[in-house]
């Protein structure tokens, strides 16, 4: 039995391009154009799931994918840091940033810890492990990183060593009992030209 899960990271937003903790904001125009250019490069899916955030749902729409929202795919809740620049938060709360970067169970921002995100992504992967066919999940870098760690059995501290680029594709396979990582960080050509309306 072949089970396939393709996770696609949402496109960039104005906040993420500035190095800010994300809010629920729309994709920037370049990400919309790039996502639309990827449409013909994806294999047919038996089901599509998307995170609740606007940027994930817009990525699905730009890819011409009709997805159902799954709360397990939500981005890490950054609490009081949402919308603020990393450098600003680091200047105001250096101990909080240090804890957040080194302790996967820390949530000094009043939102979720990385361990909380890992729990959700593990639940999502465990639910799909025996789901026949191909699932596409439009989600966020934090969820994809923790899914990779779940499959590899790696410690959460290794999350900071995984770079997930906007609109990159991470592919998993399962025999119905366990997952394997097949490809990670695959990106399509960035030379997409703006589509005409």
Number of domains in the chain: 1
Q: Tell me if 125 is assigned to some domain.
A: yes
**Which residue range forms the structural domain that includes residue 177?**
9-186
Q: Tell me if 27 is assigned to some domain.
A: yes
Q: Specify the 3-state DSSP secondary structure of 146.
A: helix
Q: Tell me if 2 is assigned to some domain.
A: no
Q: In b/e form, how buried is each residue of 169-188, taking b as 16+ CB within 10 angstroms?
A: bbbbebeeeebeeeebeeeb
pTM score, whole prediction: 0.92
Q: Tell me if 4 is assigned to some domain.
A: no
> Which pLDDT does position 1 carry in this prediction?
60
Q: Tell me if 38 is assigned to some domain.
A: yes
Q: What's the pLDDT tens digit per position in 117-168?
A: 999 999 999 999 988 999 999 999 999 999 999 999 999 999 999 999 999 9
| Gap between the Cα atoms of 170 and 184, Å rounded | 4
Q: Tell me if 197 is assigned to some domain.
A: no
Q: What's the pLDDT tens digit per position in 71-92?
A: 999 999 999 999 999 999 999 9
> Which pLDDT does position 186 carry in this prediction?
78
DSSP string across 33-52: HHHHHTGGGSPP-SEEEE-S
Q: What's the pLDDT tens digit per position in 38-59?
A: 988 888 899 999 999 999 999 9
User: Considering just the CA atoms, what is the radius of gyration of the chain in Å?
Assistant: 17
Element (H, E) at 142: helix 141-152
Q: Tell me if 135 is assigned to some domain.
A: yes
> Which pLDDT does position 190 carry in this prediction?
57
Q: Tell me if 51 is assigned to some domain.
A: yes
- Residue 25 maps to which CATH number? 3.40.50.1240
């Amino acid at each position: 039995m072949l089970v396939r899960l393709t996770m696609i990271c949402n496109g960039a937003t104005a906040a993420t391009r500035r190095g800010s903790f994300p809010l629920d904001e729309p994709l920037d125009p370049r990400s919309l154009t790039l996502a639309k250019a990827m449409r013909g490069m994806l294999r047919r899916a038996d089901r599509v799931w998307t995170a609740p955030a606007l940027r994930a749902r817009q990525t699905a729409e730009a890819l011409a994918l009709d997805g159902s929202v799954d709360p397990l795919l939500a981005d890490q809740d950054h609490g009081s840091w949402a919308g603020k620049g990393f450098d600003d938060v680091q200047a105001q709360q250096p101990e909080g940033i240090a804890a957040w970067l080194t302790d996967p169970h820390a949530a000094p921002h009043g939102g979720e810890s990385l361990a909380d995100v890992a729990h959700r992504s593990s639940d999502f992967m465990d639910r799909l492990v025996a789901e026949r066919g191909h699932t596409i999940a439009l989600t966020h870098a934090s969820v994809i990183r923790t899914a990779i760690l779940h499959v590899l059995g790696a410690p959460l501290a290794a999350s900071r060593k995984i770079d997930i680029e906007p609109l990159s594709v991470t592919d998993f396979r399962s025999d119905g009992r366990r997952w394997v990582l097949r490809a990670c960080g695959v990106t399509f050509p960035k030379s997409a030209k703006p589509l005409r309306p």
